[in-house]
Chains A and B, each alone.
Chain A
Amino acid sequence: MLLLTQFVALPLFLYARAYFAAGSAYFWPLAGFLLAGLNALFLSADLFNLYVTLELLGLAAVGLVAAGGGAQQVAAALRYLFATLVGSGIYLLGVALIHGAYGTVSIEMLTPLVHVDAPRAVWFAAGLMLIGLMLKTALFPFHYWLPPAHGGAPAPVSALLSALVVKASFYLILRLWLGPFAALTTAAAWLPAIMGSAAILWGSWRAIRALRLKELVAYSTVAQLGYLFLIFPLLGADQLALQAGGMQVVAHGLAKAAMFAAAGVVIQVTGRDAVADVAGIASRLPVTLFAFGLAGITLMGLPPSGGFLAKWLLIDAALVRGRWELVTVILAGGLLAAVYVFRVLRQAFLPPPSGERRRVARRPVAMLEWTAFALAAASVLVGLRGMEIVRLLGAGA
């Protein structure tokens, strides 16, 4: 995870440098806090430390969304602030209950302590913590805050948020699920799977209907996060589901960062944000479109991308346990993703409406185009280096 964070963040910072050419005083310190929060989160070993890093992360992210400055962005940021505070609040309540029951908050010490016959307060606490984290991960039906926040923020911010920040709380859920709460949660594994399925279908549907480019990409995040939650009932001794989840986190992180970066270039050059307005960029911004397309391949789960390997592993894991309904959801999700990705690509190949040419368009900044491209290419090439990622996950688990 640490590795992914740095890999995504570095090109995005390069991107951001070029994007905010005029200088945005708030972006850099906030992004620094964000990154620090992320790194601390991945390294923490107790529940309270995790709370602190979560808060740091959440507040930095809210600040970044608001840094755009527009009224809409501030509104989105407030909504996001509300969601993130409620989420961490619920989480903190859970931590407090756990502390009351066991007198410790270290993950390592808790793991052997929690049993199925634990007191009711512990069950309650586990539920609270997981719900709080799900709210922050924007799992359906807690996703309402994500599209305005991610769709409204400036492109580099959206990319950071979609690619990394939501993954952080997912990482925590996974860690708690497999660690201290393993004894409690096996019975409830179907719940995240149902929510995940709903997220895939609903998120894809909204992405298909979205009018604005970034809104489309943001809803796609909602859908892609759904895949991550499908792994819970499939977790088992054979590691397949865990590998699928890890692969999906990596592939989606890279692809979504690339997609927001590409969308940012399009918006900057055409000056508009509607899906209908991308007409004609095939000839004007070939590199950007290519990046968008490559990222789209990963999201659809077509080979040879990382998304494809994730999907393959996921279907494999679902079939091992005979969960055909999940297989159907996964496959349907891929097709729906194809619909929304090709909605954009198709539009891009159309000739621009006449009159459009006369408007002086800004020239794209090469740095922006190529960082988007590099991220997208990485998301696809990850598919060819699956061995390394699986090995890394094996070492971590």
Chain B
Amino acid sequence: MASTKEIKNRIKSVGDTQKITNAMYLISSTKMRKARRDAEQARPYYQLMRREIRRMFAVGTDLKSRYYDAAVDENVKGGRSAILVITADKGLAGSYNQSVIRETLALTDMSDEYTLYIVGDYGWRFFRSHGSNVDTSFEHSMNQPSLAMARDITEELLERFDRGLFDRIYVCYTEFTGGMTAGTATHDRLLPFDRDDFVPEFDETDKDASTVFEFEPDIETVLERSIRSYLVGYIYSTLVNSYSSEQNARMMAMDAANENASELLASLELEYNHLRQNAITQEITEISSGARSLKRKKGQKR
């Protein structure tokens, strides 16, 4: 059986661990609140931009561009894909990183040719050691997501897309599902756009579709520029979603760790008291039996 001193030490070390997990919980909750507040500020702009893109798609039904296809088949095979993977910089976030990695691997298994563009040190380390085809010139850490960061990522991907290095761009990220949930790892196609994603939102009574506009210089140019800007917003939202999910997953992991530590502490305290009680009982027994035998000796002398 462990000595009381040993148990005392263990209680101290569990207590220290709990302090750390508790601090990490608080840090994550602050970070998440800030990210969501920033995202709220950017939302109106992208909603308006989306509405204008939708309008242009509704007006120009016969437009063709490398940025959008009337009919893109969902079959990933037979094309070169770029996959933007959004992971965390750090672990200790439950299954957060693993879920995104699994989603990515499922996607790479389906494609003939792919290049990974990884955000976050965790994914970077994993895919490099896993022997995946990673573009090593693309380095972004999963810091607090910002529009500037989304802009950099968009520029880098579009530059390669414009050079014709690949036919499709996907993004693997974690969708924030709110509350105490870990979020869902998922993938979306960034480019080419599926015009159907926009058009069904229209109906005949929609006045957006009926107002006649003049386009200068022409609808293609305006649309292409809008799409670039819209992509920034889209990537930003996947970053914020992932970041919030990451912080949420970490909060949950730390919450569970806190709880486990409390349970462990309780059982250690119990064992400690038990041992102490035993020791006291034993001491009393020893003293009283010692005293009795002394008394008996004295009695025999007389």
Q: Is chain B found bound to chain A in the same assembly?
A: no
